[in-house]
Amino acid sequence: MKIAPLAKVKDQLSAYIDASKESPIVVTRNGKPVALLTPILEDDDLDRLLLAHNPKFLRLLEEARARVRAGLYLTNDQFWQELQRRRRKKGTK
């Protein structure tokens, strides 16, 4: 991992973006880390990065994990059975 001051990154942004493909670059201001340059190599990379920093998504994920820890979940078979039940019920209305 490389570390670079913000002023230098601003002057040579394109070069640092290219260099980030090899290793993430920590950008510093007054010697303190303020940003991270990391490449987006595949379409999914951007989605993953955005979700990893989305408070609403992280809250939903933690709520789901808590339900699993509490045993409040459906098995795969139960899920498909419930889906079929709902489809049949919807079809009769």
81 and 66 in a common domain: yes
**pLDDT tier at 90 (50, 70, 90 boundaries)?**
confident
Distance of CA 82 to the CA centre of its chain: 30
- Total number of domains in the chain: 2
> Mind listing the pLDDT tens digit for each residue in 15-72?
999 999 999 999 999 999 999 999 999 989 999 999 999 999 999 999 999 999 999 9
pTM higher than the cut 0.75:
no
61-66's contacts with Cβ under 8 Å and 24+ in sequence apart are none
- Give residue 26's domain range: 1-39
Query: CATH no. for residue 14?
Result: 3.40.1620.10
Q: What is the pLDDT of residue 92?
A: 60
Asked if 28 contacts 34 with a C-beta cutoff of 8 angstroms, the reply is yes
50 and 29 in a common domain: no
